[in-house]
């Protein structure tokens, strides 16, 4: 029996801040209501648009969004090992999510879900602290950062293969 080998991409979606001055625009990770299902659909559409039927065909079976946190914009995407660079390129080419300009960064790639989980937990904790300190999100205040971090850690740790 042949085992399917995967890579896990830890991604971050950064939206442009809606400000009048282009010089003052900053990238912020706070995302609208974007679910894992919608993100998966957007990634598949980006692959189809950029790489056609070939790209859609080779990534169709192994592509899955395992986790996405709309507050921090952090997600874990599983992709086939032989074609994870194609998924990475499609993510890089995505410039809008829900008609809002954004940048998608791949923060980390790993061969196991455990490695991606540990990196995601650490990065998510840092992002929540940064959001609370800079007052970029009303949901992430100094008082409930520990609560949000615990909930995020629990959701990430609950991922299975």
Q: How many other CB atoms are found less than 10 A from the CB of residue 21?
A: 6
17 and 60 Cβ atoms separated by less than 8 Å? no
61 domain residue, yes or no: yes
Domain for residue 21, yes or no?
yes
Q: Is 30 a domain residue?
A: yes
Host domain of residue 129? 6-157
Residue 76 domain-assigned (yes or no): yes
Q: How confident is the model at residue 137 (pLDDT cuts 50, 70, 90)?
A: low
Question: pLDDT band at 24, cuts 50/70/90?
Answer: very low
Q: Is residue 89 part of a domain?
A: yes
Whether pLDDT at 52 is above 80: yes
From 67, 35, 52, select the one nearest 160 (Cα to Cα).
67
Task: Report the domain count for the chain.
Answer: 1
Per-residue pLDDT tens over the stretch 84-136: 999 999 999 999 888 888 899 999 999 999 999 999 989 888 887 777 776 65
CB 116 within 8 A of CB 108: yes
CATH of the domain at 97: 3.30.70.3250
């Amino acid at each position: 029996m042949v085992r399917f080998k995967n890579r896990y991409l830890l991604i971050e979606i950064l939206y442009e801040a809606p400000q009048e001055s282009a010089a003052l625009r900053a990238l912020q990770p706070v995302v609208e209501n974007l679910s894992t299902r919608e993100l998966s659909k957007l990634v598949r559409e980006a692959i189809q648009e950029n790489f056609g039927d070939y790209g859609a065909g080779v990534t169709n079976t192994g592509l899955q969004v395992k986790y996405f946190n709309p507050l921090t914009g952090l997600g874990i995407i599983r992709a086939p090992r032989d074609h994870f660079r194609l998924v990475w390129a499609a993510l890089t080419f995505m410039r809008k999510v829900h008609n809002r300009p954004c940048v998608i960064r791949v923060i980390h790639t790993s061969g196991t879900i455990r490695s991606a989980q540990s990196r995601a937990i650490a990065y998510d904790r840092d992002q929540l602290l940064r959001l609370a300190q800079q007052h970029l999100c009303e949901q992430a205040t100094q008082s409930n950062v520990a609560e949000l971090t615990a909930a995020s850690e629990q959701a990430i740790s609950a991922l299975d293969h």
